[in-house]
Amino acid sequence: MSILIKNVLLDDQKTDILVEGNRIAKIAAGIETPSADCEVINAEGMAALPTFVNMHTHIPMTLFRGYGDDLPLQEWLNTKIWPNEKNLDEEIIYWGTKLGCLEMIKTGTTCFSDMYFFLPQEAKAVKDMGIRAVLGLTLFDGCNSDNLPNVKKELEQFEQTLALADDHVQFALSPHAPYTVSGASYQYIKAYAKERNLLMHTHVAETQGEVDNTLRDFGLTPVQHLHKWNALDERSTLAHCVYLTDDDIKILADTGATVTHNPNSNLKLGSGLNFRYPELVKAGVNVTLGTDGCSSSNNLDMREAVKMASFIQKGRTKEPTVMPTSESLAIATVNGAKVLGLNMGRVAEGCLADFVLVNLNTPAFTPNHNTLSNWIYAADSSVIDTLFCDGKILMRNHHVEGEEEIMAQAIKMAKKLIKV
């Protein structure tokens, strides 16, 4: 199966893009139709842009959207989220995940790194929707190493889930955070993940209170604490990292760990504006981007997160040249893809055919001095006309097949989920 996109704007130059199978086979002007069964798309008035890689989400929590807003993190978790998560079941997870995938497709994301529960149902929903995911098993031990046997038992059961992995769905381990998981469990989980070449995905240094409590309890920052327990390496991704010391940044650079910035969630929950992007980049730390779950950021729109991340850094540093559009796009695309081992995040020959066609005939692209600048700073996701993932068209004319049923089922599942 091949698809030929004609007359599309790429890097501010008009060209053609040939997709064969799940790869971008050729980019050049005047490509001839390779076969009679090749689909030809006239993309005049459109631009091709890479799809996003969302490196920190809790996708089924899309069903919590708008519930428990405007509360501090711990109050929000203890009074709104954790009590209702006791009502989760397979049906809720499946439709909540499909809703999240639908929203990501509509906003230009084709790959995400998640941490939640009921992973087989998440995996089925992701495969049914046709996008990509790394699904992390969320683990807790109450920050009590006496509960390590329970963690080991969960990982024994997890072996069955690992068998569901394929080209679209991989799995990871997601110990929740240093304040809910003991050092001994982190060490065991990381060793298990390393043995199986799995990603370890965790929350770290999200609030000043978390850092203060970790210093009080262990005499170490959260990053230092994880390093002590051998939990950091190039297959470790740390979400948030709003409060990092110079020593923390050096540890992250030395171990090769990846940091995921979640600007919208950090702002909404009042976690702070202290994400030290220039310092992390200077030290050589790989920085990626996430939306967090819809319960704390209210949407999964990565383009919005890119814009917010860039503006925060310019304001924090009082330097408008910090995080220019080329860098902000990279942290939302190729930087995450690299960690996940995927050749995507660029519209280039040989890359996976994951990209969008955006409509340039809109006010946001008028005038169009710089397509990337307009995409990041001026547009919104409504300009996305067509989305490709793995060489397949998942959205045409900004419509996804079956989206009406997904939203109807999601409304039913939300009523089933939220009781208090």
Looking at residue 28, which CATH number applies to its domain? 2.30.40.10
State the residue range of the domain holding 204: 52-340
Predicted structure pTM score:
0.97
| In a shared domain, residues 319 and 396 | no
Whole-number Å distance between alpha carbons of 284 and 52: 22
Residue 336 lies in a domain: yes
Whole-number Å distance between alpha carbons of 47 and 8: 5
Residue 413 lies in a domain: no
Positive/negative CA dihedral, 400, 402, 408, 409: negative
| In a shared domain, residues 265 and 363 | no
Quick one: 341 exposed, middle or buried, by C-beta within 10 A (0-12, 13-18, 19+)?
exposed
Residue 327 lies in a domain: yes
Whole-number Å distance between alpha carbons of 284 and 112: 23
Q: Give the end of a domain, one of 315, 340, 365.
A: 340
Of 123, 132, 136, 135, which Cα lies nearest the Cα of 90? 123
Which whole-number Å values give the CA distances from 312 to 45, 49, 301, 373, in the listed order? 32, 24, 17, 16
**Residue 290's domain is classified under what CATH number?**
3.20.20.140
| In a shared domain, residues 114 and 215 | yes
Residue 238 lies in a domain: yes
Contact present, 379 and 108 (Cβ < 8 Å): no
Residue 276 lies in a domain: yes
Residue 117's pLDDT is 94
Positive/negative CA dihedral, 300, 141, 181, 272: positive
| In a shared domain, residues 365 and 257 | no
| In a shared domain, residues 135 and 206 | yes
Tokens of 243: 């409060």
| In a shared domain, residues 28 and 148 | no
For β-strands 258-261 and 2-10, DSSP reports them as unpaired
| In a shared domain, residues 351 and 330 | no
| In a shared domain, residues 17 and 61 | no
Residue 233's pLDDT is 98
Whole-number Å distance between alpha carbons of 333 and 290: 10
Residue 418 lies in a domain: no
| In a shared domain, residues 162 and 304 | yes
Q: Give the end of a domain, one of 313, 340, 367.
A: 340
For β-strands 23-28 and 13-20, DSSP reports them as antiparallel
| In a shared domain, residues 28 and 76 | no
Residue 201 lies in a domain: yes
Tokens of 54: 């969302």
Which whole-number Å values give the CA distances from 269 to 70, 79, 272, 273, in the listed order? 7, 15, 8, 11
Q: Give the end of a domain, one of 305, 323, 340.
A: 340
Q: What is the pLDDT along the chain (420 residues), one digit of tens a residue?
A: 799 999 999 999 999 999 999 999 999 999 999 999 999 999 999 999 999 999 999 999 999 999 989 988 889 889 999 899 999 999 999 999 999 999 999 999 999 999 999 999 999 999 999 999 999 999 999 999 999 999 999 999 999 999 999 999 999 999 999 999 999 999 999 999 999 999 999 999 999 999 999 999 999 999 999 999 999 999 999 999 999 999 999 999 999 999 999 999 999 999 999 999 999 999 999 999 999 999 889 999 999 999 999 999 999 999 999 999 999 999 999 999 999 999 999 999 999 999 999 999 999 999 999 999 999 999 999 999 999 999 999 999 999 999 999 999 999 999 999 986
| In a shared domain, residues 225 and 374 | no
| In a shared domain, residues 236 and 362 | no
Q: Which residues on neighbouring strands pair with residue 111, listed in sequence order?
A: 53, 132
Domain count, the chain: 2
Residue 80 lies in a domain: yes
